[in-house]
A and B are shown apart, each in its own frame.
Chain A
Amino acid sequence: MKAIGPQEVKAGLAANLARLWRYGLVLSGARDVADDLVQATCVRAIERADQFQPGTQLDRWLFSILRSIWLNELRSRRVREGGGFVDASEALVVDGGHQIETNIFAAQVLREVGGLPEAQREAVLLVYVEGLSYREAAEVLAAPIGTIMSRLAAARLTLGKMGAASEPDQARRPDDGGWR
């Protein structure tokens, strides 16, 4: 399969900026950090265009890059700096503000998810929001599939204690057909 070049990666980035930013926000809980993450992801993805494996999905690859930058560079820096770190539950709701005022239920879901530990937040985002299969999420997170499922279970148990959703559960997606 023909390798793709920097220009194709750039086009792929352009098509996924909002989704990357949302992932950055869910990880960091801070909008300015989400901005940083997306910009660094752009730089690095273009640099490493030759490492993209044709036949795989570009957005998953971009998620991996963003996550790696978060783990290896930004998160540690934020921790070293100490303070100034917005609680993710506030960032996802208060910062997510005006667009969702009309939907109190959506705001509540964001607040609840924002209160989960980082590892659970991102599992919820990748699987339930982005619609990745367990296997795809595991590849992005460089973790075993069982870990993804455990994180989803932990997230559900925590959310469940907050009360059952008053709206229907997530749509079932019989997309995987197995333990993938």
Chain B
Amino acid sequence: MTGDDDDARLVAFIDGRLDESARGAVEARLAGDADLRERLARLRDGGRPFAPAFQSLLDEAPVERLNAFLAALDGGEHESASFRALSAFRANRFAAAAAIILFCAGIAVGRFGPSWSTASPEIAAPASGQHEDWRQAVAEYMSLYTPDTFAAKTASQPDELSALGAKIGLALTPERIALTSLQFRGAQIFSYDGAPLGQLGYIDPATGPVLFCIIRDSEPDAAMKAEKRGGFTVSSWARAGHGYMLIGRLPVDQMAELANSLERRF
């Protein structure tokens, strides 16, 4: 038996996982082998009250948030939808949440529903209905954000912005995306129906997360407009093939002010 084999067997001995005969054999060897007894002592020294120590990590788990995510899954009725969700997950967990809500939850508002606040069937889908849809997706996964969402996120890497800018075809710099009174917390790239969708995350000390999203798409130019979507304040516009959206829980006038300052830069 090699030393490694001895160690493995001694661990099983310590853990009480040997059957009677194997245990007897180890005990017999221990009786006549001082080196093996020394080895056993060293292995025993590495014992710890592992289970109680790790109990605290269970308490740290964000069970409520994970439960909300799980509840949004549809139980497997739309398998391809779940694949979409998983693909999105590979890019980012919030994209996954968005995809799951979009594709698994049955899109209760209707794929081209103009918005939650005007969900009357008489209202025709806007000409840019498909583009409205990405804003709806953002609004839906925005509901999963909490003030703690960015808590674990450390300061954004400088490269993060330029990399995101390259994907969506815009030069992004810290100055260009800075928002008064909001802390920038990072950039992420998503994909919506094949179009790159960039997301810049901010924290407002009073109302929590604010997202500035940019999609590179052939969206026709559109003037700034403000609306409420799912309890969020949204300001959006489109220019030169890019769609823009600022969403958060800020009051409408504050949101509009921030959006206007961004529009001047984009």
Binding site for B on A (CB under 8 A): 5-7, 9-10, 13-14, 17-19, 21-22, 25-26, 31-32, 34-36, 38-40, 42-44, 46-47, 49, 73, 77, 83-84, 92, 95-96, 99-100, 103, 105-107, 109-110, 112-113, 124-125, 127-129, 131, 133-134, 146, 149-150, 152-161, 163-165, 167-170, 172-180
Contact = CB atoms under 8 A, between A and B. Distances in A.
24 contacts: A6-B77, A17-B66, A18-B63, A21-B63, A22-B54, A32-B93, A40-B89, A40-B96, A43-B96, A95-B152, A106-B49, A113-B53, A125-B50, A150-B7, A153-B10, A156-B14, A156-B43, A170-B15, A170-B47, A170-B50, A172-B15, A174-B17, A176-B19, A177-B20
Contact of B46 (A10, A49, A77, A159): A159
B62 A35 contact: yes
Interface of B: 4-5, 7-12, 14-20, 22, 42-63, 65-67, 69-70, 73, 75-77, 79, 82-83, 85-86, 89-90, 93, 96-97, 100, 152-154, 157
Most buried by A among B49, B57, B77: B57
A95 B60 contact: yes
Majority-rule SS of A interface residues: helix
Contacts of A175: 16-17
Nearest to A18: B61
A159 B48 contact: yes
Given A46-B82, A170-B15, A21 B66 contact: yes
A179 B57 CA distance: 30
Contacts of B18: 178-179
Contacts of A44: 82, 86
B7 A22 contact: no
A10 B70 contact: yes
Nearest to B6: A153
A34 B66 CA distance: 11
Contacts of A124: 50
A19 B57 CA distance: 9
B102 to A, nearest CB: 14
B50 A128 contact: yes
Contacts of B22: 178-179
B56 A100 contact: yes
Nearest to A101: B56
B66 A38 contact: yes
B10 to A, nearest CB: 7
B16 A174 contact: yes
